[in-house]
């Protein structure tokens, strides 16, 4: 066995030596343009983009993945100019700061012959993208709702926290409402808390003051869930059976792994999706694997059984 | 520049040497179970699965992709038993011979803790799959139809060849009918030719005998298109402007690259999709990239501009 492994190593070395002279000319460049780490989820995006670059650059000597973070839409527009100046980008993987400001700059890059992979936030003109990859916000809400219907035996009082008025928030809430439809789960109240822990803490305190019997809380997002859990902890309330979030924050996944009673499940809208997009793009460049189209990742219920797959202890998120 | 490349090579060698002892224990096994090459499209599946295995095994020393072809559903059931006997499969990528016979055997593999990626032909119970990846047969028909509506100025006489009565065939035809809806393109005749060149040759001869004015032919599949083209060639007919197929056979892609007047475009239902599925599965195993869900690859119109991306001169298909 050891002998075979060394034979493989030697063969790999041989291939590297033979390939040596061809590498520079044949090297395919994949630029990854993403927002800087301005909150938990985008810090996860930065972490996973850099991890993908490291893994792929080590694995494929003829691919160079270059990651560039930008603190604003204007900076991202400049970054695109810098990235494509003086060299042909074979592919661009981009999570745009805003659809409005990035649509035309990305179109210009595409017109230079670059394969365009758009992640999470779409451009205003979908014809520009070759691959679009995002999570499924409807499933985030629906799968959480189905868990609660099941665990609460189809009846009980809920309070729900919304994020910021956006398509993302609308879809999550729609999925949740669809998921409890037909049951006797009742939403006592539903208000916005801006995907912010402090705002969620205050809103949850209001809910606790107003409603004497709350069976479960759905926070729609893990940053808000942290505020909710703190408010519950500071109260003397014991009737609340579940407080759930969504997104895949590592602190919440850890609770699932540890078998936490109040937060035993999670639904992902994982920043690691940037990694999926980068790997798919590289598969197309390296092996001509067909990837054109629209990919909507599922948001399966994360339980103790599968949580390790979604847990990144070294990630900031 | 040369010096830098050698430094990288040396570093890679170092990593391989250091990793040497850990490889065997940490090696993740991805089994790929596919039909044997019983016709053009499946011969493409075999070619691309083996190419993916070669590329990935060379790139990632801690992954072993094992490809097993099976000439029948019964043989594929046995192959699954052999592949999973005596070792844990981290992932299984499978294109089932039949949904009926493979559903329970794949379920058994999943229950052993294996990640299941299903390609093209679904299992009877979708809950078994972690990732399902297929092409878009509706788009195959629709994008072809839109091309004809555009090029024929919205009017003309068409003849269409169907394959074998299946969901795949129904979807392609439905997409085509949707695509010509609202135009004055008229389908003079539409009959089955079993996705077979000889049958298509005979059917096209019938069409030619029956209809004095045919503006375009849609063969629904490239094997049938070959028969259609031969029948047209043997006739003295000159009014037929376009004869189009679908699937991505290399002979047809080559025509597109060469600017063939009668077959200037193609739509893919490419066997290389097995490669996409394998790369995605490896991204999950190597980098925990989230890939659970349903991926339907687009079937964009292949034109002279993008044909190289879909052309595999060394593939049998």
Q: What is the pLDDT of residues A264-313, one digit of tens each?
A: 999 999 999 999 999 999 999 999 999 999 999 999 999 999 999 999 99
List, in order, residues 6 or more apart from A288 with CB less than 8 Å away. B272, B275, B309, B310, B312
A30, pLDDT greater than 50: yes
CATH number of A2-135+271-298: 3.40.50.2300
Q: Between B16, B272, B293, which is nearest A9 by CB?
A: B16
pTM comes to 0.87
- CA–CA separation, A44 and A177 (whole Å): 28
Coil, helix or strand at residue A66: strand
Side-by-side strand order, sheet with B155-162: B184-192, B155-162, B216-218, B242-244
In the structure encoding, which two tokens stand for residue B124, read together?
Answer: 């009877």
pLDDT digits (tens, 9 = 90+) for A239-256: 999 999 999 999 999 999
Q: How close is the nearest chain A Cα to the Cα of B293, in Å?
A: 4
- Picking from B3-12, B180-189, B257-266, B288-297, which range would have the lowest pLDDT averaged per residue? B3-12
Residue A118 φ/ψ, nearest 5 degrees: -105, 135
Whether A4 has a pLDDT exceeding 70, the answer reads: no
Q: What is the pLDDT of residue A167?
A: 87
Average pLDDT over residues A207-222: 97
Tell me if domain A2-135+271-298 and domain A137-257 are identical in fold. yes
Cross-chain residue pair B297–A310, CB shorter than 8 Å: no
Nearest residue on chain B to A20, alpha-carbon basis? B5
Per-residue pLDDT tens over the stretch A81-120 = 999 888 889 999 999 999 999 999 999 999 999 999 999 9
Between chains, do B286 and A60 touch, taking CB under 8 Å as contact? no
| Chains A & B: contacts with CB separation below 8 Å | 130
Residue ranges in chain A assigned as alpha helix (H): 2-26, 40-59, 73-84, 99-111, 137-151, 167-180, 197-210, 222-234, 250-257, 273-287
Nearest chain B residue to A272 by CA: give it. B289
Q: Where are the domains of chain A?
A: 2-135+271-298, 137-257
The predicted structure's pLDDT at residue B10: 38
Whether B278 shows a pLDDT value over 90: the answer reads: yes
Q: Residue B304: pLDDT above 70? A: yes
Indicate whether A263 pLDDT > 90: yes
**Does the structure show a pLDDT above 80 at A3?**
no
Q: What's the burial of B214, exposed, middle or buried (CB within 10 Å: 0-12/13-18/19+)?
A: buried
Q: Is A22 on the interface with B (CB under 8 A)?
A: no
For residues A62 and A23, the answer to whether their CB atoms sit within 8 Å is yes
Residues of A in contact with B127 (CB under 8 A): none
pLDDT at A29: 97
Given a cut of 60, whether residue A212 has pLDDT beyond it is yes
**Cα(A281)–Cα(B306) distance, integer angstroms:** 16
Q: Which of B30, B51, B288 to mutate to test the interface with A (most CBs of A within 10 A)?
A: B288
Which residues 46-105 in chain A show a CB within 8 A of chain B? 51-52, 55, 58-61
C-beta atoms of A276 and B268 within 8 A: no
Report CB contact under 8 Å: B268, A291.
no
Mean pLDDT of chain A: 91
Residues of B with Cβ-Cβ distance to A281 under 8 angstroms = none
Q: Which of B225, B214, B222 is nearest to B152 (CA)?
A: B214
Report whether pLDDT(A10) > 80. no
Distance from CA of A188 to the nearest CA of B (A): 33
Q: Per-residue pLDDT averaged across B125-131, rounded? A: 96
Sheet of A28-35: strands edge to edge?
A63-70, A28-35, A91-94, A115-119, A131-134, A293-297, B293-297, B131-134, B115-119, B91-94, B28-35, B63-70
Which pLDDT tens digit goes with each residue over B166-221?
Answer: 888 999 999 999 999 999 999 999 999 999 999 999 999 999 999 999 999 999 99
Residue B25 pLDDT = 58
Predicted confidence at residue A25, as pLDDT, reads: 58
Asked if A280 and B279 come within 8 Å (Cβ–Cβ), the reply is yes
Q: Taking CB atoms and an 8 Å cutoff, what residues of chain A touch B45?
A: none
- Three-state DSSP class for A39? coil
pLDDT of A6 over the 70 cut: no
Contacts of A220 (CB under 8 A, 6+ apart): A141, A160, A161, A162, A163, A169, A172, A173, A176, A195, A245, A246
What mean pLDDT, rounded, does chain B reach? 91
Cβ-based contacts of B280 with chain A (< 8 Å): 276, 279-280, 283
Give pLDDT tens digits for B23-67: 355 799 999 999 999 878 999 999 999 999 999 999 999 999 999
Residue of B nearest to A21 (CA): B2
Fold exhibited by the domain A137-257: Rossmann fold (3.40.50)
Which residue, among B298, B310, B273, B309, has the nearest Cα to B139 in the 3D structure? B298
Structure letter (DSSP) for residue B308: G
Rg of chain B in Å (alpha carbons): 22
* pLDDT at res. A18: 39
């Amino acid at each position: 066995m050891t002998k075979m492994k060394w034979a493989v190593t030697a063969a790999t070395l041989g291939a590297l030596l033979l390939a040596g002279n061809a590498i520079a000319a044949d090297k395919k460049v994949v630029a990854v343009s993403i927002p800087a780490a301005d909150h938990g989820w985008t810090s996860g995006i930065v972490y996973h983009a850099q991890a993908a670059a490291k893994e792929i650059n080590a694995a494929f000597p003829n691919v160079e993945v270059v990651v560039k973070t930008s603190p604003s839409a204007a900076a991202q527009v400049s970054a695109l100019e810098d990235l494509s100046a003086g060299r042909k980008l074979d592919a661009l993987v981009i999570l745009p700061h805003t659809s409005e400001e990035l649509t035309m700059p990305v179109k210009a890059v595409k017109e230079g012959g670059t394969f365009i992979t758009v992640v999470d936030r779409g451009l205003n003109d979908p014809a520009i993208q070759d691959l679009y990859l995002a999570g499924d916000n409807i499933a985030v809400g629906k799968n959480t709702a189905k868990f609660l219907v099941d665990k609460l035996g189809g009846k009980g009082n809920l309070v729900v926290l919304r994020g910021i008025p956006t398509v993302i928030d609308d879809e999550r809430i729609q999925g949740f409402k669809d998921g409890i439809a037909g049951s006797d789960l009742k939403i006592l109240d539903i208000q916005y808390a801006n995907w912010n822990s402090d705002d969620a803490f205050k809103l949850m305190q209001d809910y606790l003051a107003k409603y004497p019997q709350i069976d479960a809380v759905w926070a729609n997002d893990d940053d808000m869930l942290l505020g909710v859990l703190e408010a519950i902890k500071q109260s003397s309330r014991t009737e609340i059976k579940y407080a759930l979030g969504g997104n895949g924050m590592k602190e919440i996944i850890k609770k699932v792994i540890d078998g936490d009673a109040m937060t035993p499940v999670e639904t992902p809208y994982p920043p690691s999706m940037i990694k999926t997009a980068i790997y798919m793009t590289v598969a197309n460049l390296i092996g001509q694997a067909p990837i054109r189209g629209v990919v909507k990742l599922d948001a399966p219920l994360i339980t103790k059984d599968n949580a390790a797959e979604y847990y990144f202890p070294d990630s900031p998120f």
